[in-house]
């Protein structure tokens, strides 16, 4: 059963205690949702909500055991705007698949400067000194700040954390993980797929309001979706508007803008961002005031056409309205839910092909929205 209204207070209160830690990280609005399983390292199927090791290994150009050396926020000039990304340097201990240099740099959306943060959901989080196993491939060409650079297959799902020889996200020994990957690569794996459980260093836990919000309302947005149906985006916005809070989303038509940037426009745009990006990612520009308080200045959503989309319930595609209802929840400043007990919630991180239940909000989500923004 989905959660009841009475849980909303706990949901928001818990987030407030986590917010300070969350905002220091140079990652993204916390492991954006869904990862329908790509089939044999190619296009996604409806078989699973998660990238399996089979598909991670099959899609990756290389798989490395490595130590995280450093993370660096980089401001990239893209046209007449600036995009903030984070480069993570990995010292390679072993190539489980492929070969290459002794160190590699993987790039992800988002980062933090002294003045602002770009918090982009679904991106892998790295901490210097960590031991990791990473599935590496080049980014798609949909974003000039990422194109030609290495990224992580499956976004944060393709980064596994190793502590004292144990893979935290799977609860198995590192040696078992390597054996499983090598068996997969040889084509003779019959072992059961290890379970994947997001960890604190990879994704948030529990329902949370991230303790920053819009100070200027309503929130205007534009779309640049090509052949994808913009009506699905507007329907998703209407779902949040219907709650009756002061947080209102207003459609302002189409735009040619595409890249995530500090351009003052909130844009939902499409492009092929490849296997290193989630099906959809929200990037939130969080500004810091002189008194150190933070507020949302801009939000953008990129819809990844590497995956199949429709405005429908299809076993071969993701439903755009459901996906955008979830993404607009990040605009509210709600984090993802990762517990399997919360899998029926709109803000649960995973979504399957054909799933449409995220079109509607649950009582705790509407109550949380009213608690944060008040009634209209």
Q: Domain for residue 48, yes or no?
A: no
Domain that holds residue 312: 5-28+205-373
Count up the domains in the chain and report the number.
2
Looking at the fold, whether 219 and 177 belong to one and the same domain comes out as no
Looking at the fold, whether 175 and 220 belong to one and the same domain comes out as no
Q: Domain for residue 341, yes or no?
A: yes
DSSP 311: S
* CA 78 centroid distance within chain: 22
Looking at the fold, whether 12 and 151 belong to one and the same domain comes out as no
Residues β-bridged to residue 84: 75
pTM over 0.85: no
Looking at the fold, whether 89 and 182 belong to one and the same domain comes out as yes
Looking at the fold, whether 173 and 222 belong to one and the same domain comes out as no
Looking at the fold, whether 300 and 327 belong to one and the same domain comes out as yes
**Phi-psi region for residue 43, left (φ > 0), alpha (ψ -120 to 50) or beta?**
beta
- Domain end marker among 186, 220, 251: 186
Looking at the fold, whether 157 and 285 belong to one and the same domain comes out as no
Looking at the fold, whether 179 and 210 belong to one and the same domain comes out as no
Q: Domain for residue 44, yes or no?
A: no
Looking at the fold, whether 227 and 349 belong to one and the same domain comes out as yes
Task: Give the DSSP letter string of 107-131.
Answer: EEE-EE-SSEEEEETT-----TT-E
Tens of pLDDT along the chain (376 residues) come to 333 333 333 343 333 333 333 333 323 333 333 333 443 334 333 223 468 888 899 999 999 999 999 999 999 988 777 889 999 999 999 999 999 999 999 999 999 998 899 998 889 999 999 999 999 999 999 899 999 999 999 998 899 999 999 999 888 999 999 999 999 899 876 777 887 776 644 443 334 567 789 999 999 999 999 999 999 999 999 999 999 999 999 999 999 988 767 888 999 999 999 999 999 999 999 998 888 888 999 999 999 999 999 999 898 999 999 999 999 999 998 888 877 788 889 998 888 898 999 999 999 899 999 999 999 8
């Amino acid at each position: 059963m989905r959660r009841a209204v009475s849980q909303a207070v706990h949901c928001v209160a818990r987030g407030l205690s986590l917010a300070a830690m969350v905002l220091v990280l140079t990652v993204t609005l916390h492991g954006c949702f869904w990862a329908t399983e790509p089939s044999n390292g190619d296009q996604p199927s409806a078989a699973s909500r998660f990238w399996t090791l089979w598909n991670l290994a099959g899609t990756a150009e290389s798989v490395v055991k490595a130590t995280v050396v450093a993370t660096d926020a980089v401001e990239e000039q893209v046209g007449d705007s600036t995009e903030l990304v984070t480069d993570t340097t990995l010292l390679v201990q072993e190539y489980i698949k492929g070969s290459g240099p002794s160190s590699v740099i993987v790039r992800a959306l988002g980062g933090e400067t002294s003045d602002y943060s770009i918090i982009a959901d679904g991106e892998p989080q790295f901490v210097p000194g960590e031991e990791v196993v990473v599935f590496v491939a080049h980014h798609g060409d949909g974003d000039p700040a990422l194109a030609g650079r290495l990224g992580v297959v499956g976004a944060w799902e393709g980064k596994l954390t190793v502590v004292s020889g144990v893979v935290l996200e799977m609860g198995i020994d590192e040696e078992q993980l390597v054996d499983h990957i090598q068996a997969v690569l040889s084509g003779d794996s019959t072992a059961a797929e290890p379970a994947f459980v997001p960890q604190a260093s990879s994704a948030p836990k529990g329902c949370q309001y991230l303790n920053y919000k819009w100070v200027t309302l309503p929130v205007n947005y534009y779309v640049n979706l090509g052949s994808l149906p913009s009506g699905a985006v507007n329907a998703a916005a209407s779902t949040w508007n219907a709650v009756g809070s002061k947080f209102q989303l207003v459609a302002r038509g189409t735009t040619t803008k595409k890249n995530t940037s500090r351009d003052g426009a909130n844009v939902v745009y499409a492009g092929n961002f490849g296997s290193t990006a989630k099906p959809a990612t929200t990037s939130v520009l969080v500004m810091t005031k002189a008194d150190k308080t933070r507020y949302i200045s801009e939000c953008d959503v990129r819809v990844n056409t590497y995956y199949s989309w429709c405005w429908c319930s299809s076993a071969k595609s993701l439903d755009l309205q459901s996906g955008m209802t979830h993404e607009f929840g990040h605009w509210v400043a709600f984090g993802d839910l990762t517990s399997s007990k919360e899998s029926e919630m709109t803000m649960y991180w995973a979504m399957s092909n054909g799933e449409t239940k995220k079109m509607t909000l649950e009582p705790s989500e509407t109550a949380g929205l009213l608690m944060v923004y008040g009634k209209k």
